[in-house]
Amino acid sequence: MVLRVSVCSELFFLIEGLDFYQTVDVIAELGEESRLEQKTGIRLGVELAPFTEGKPVTEISPEERAKRRDNLKKNQVPLTGLHWILAGGDPIFGAGKYFIPKGPHITTPHGTRRCRSADYAAEVFRYGTELNDGNPLVAVWGSPAQRNLIPGTEYQAAENNAANAFARILRRDDHNVTIALERLVRLGTRLGEDKIGETDFCYTMTQVDTVVSLTRNKLRLDRRERVGSMLDVKAAKNMGDNPLEVLRNPFLVPHIHVQDPYSFGPPGWNSNGEFLGDGHYDFRPLVAAAVELSKTRDVDLSAEPFDLPPKKFFTTHGLRPYNVFRKSVEYLGDLIQEAMTG
């Protein structure tokens, strides 16, 4: 079993306009400069947000996919997961085969809209599988705008709609992806200055577990383990849960978003753009638990900021993603090394 560490790709695209190859180069450099591998034996990986392509993934040719797969291997950057599965707006969903009026959505009662959303998500999964050389991959399903309740939809109906969408994706034979449904913070929840929650669907672990169970019941036995839950530290803390308790969830897919629960920035950073390490939120117990869990299961720690909007934390304080993530990865590396040797 292994422990992996990654950073998200979206901010290199949103803030600095980096393409796939530039992002992989930067993450390889980040891993070297942070000395993560020297401390822990872990190569820094990437959690890929497909919307950073700026176009549907279906427009990326087999030859280009092979080139990207080879680039990941050459740079020794593991692909640890997919994120923001249905984000992207009009450049992806505004025209062509995957045109979806009003955008993709998984809890909508509109069957055609829901099925088109699921079918595009399956294409994203196929793309990720090909980049990962056919190996298993985790897709974190957050995307609050694409799952929030449509006015007039009953909550239980929305749960069944989401389960139908997930089951449609997981019945496909052309990808090797596990869905990790991300619990987010309830809409209207005050999280500090000008921050509010994100979703009115699946904001408690009980709600997430219900959708996971409904989905599994729609799948044949050998595919039921390909949908589960994950740990988002920011959501757990702000919804009143202990992240260490969430790690015991029976449906857990051990893919953990480690963002600071107060600043929404990457680990170790406060809301003032200052790096404090565990002076702001102490990740030491969580990292130690992840190291212990990795003795029996593969575990991913992904440095995943989630400010509203995501780049606000960086632009407000004039911070570059590279410099911020370098500090966070150094911090996580130190905690992992401590847990491994302690």
Domain ranges of the chain: 3-257
> In the prediction, which pLDDT does 112 show?
95
For residue 314, is pLDDT > 90?
no
Topology of the domain covering 3-257: TIM Barrel (3.20.20)
Q: Both ends of the chain: CA-CA distance in Å?
A: 19
> In the prediction, which pLDDT does 313 show?
79
Please give the model's pTM, rounded to 2 decimal places. Answer: 0.96
For residue 37, is pLDDT > 90?
yes
> In the prediction, which pLDDT does 192 show?
58
- Tell me the torsion sign for CA atoms 323, 326, 331, 334: negative
Q: Which amino acid type is present at position 78?
A: P
98: helix, strand or coil? coil
Q: Within the chain, where are the H helices? A: 10-14, 20-33, 36-40, 62-75, 90-93, 111-131, 155-170, 205-217, 233-238, 243-246, 284-293, 312-316, 321-341
- Residues contacting residue 143 through CB under 8 Å, at least 6 positions apart: 84, 85, 86, 87
Q: Tens digits of per-residue pLDDT, 202-237?
A: 999 999 999 999 999 999 999 999 999 999 999 999
Helix (H) or strand (E) holding 85: none
186 and 144 in contact (C-beta within 8 Å)? no
Q: Tens digits of per-residue pLDDT, 61-102?
A: 999 999 999 999 999 999 999 999 999 999 999 988 889 989
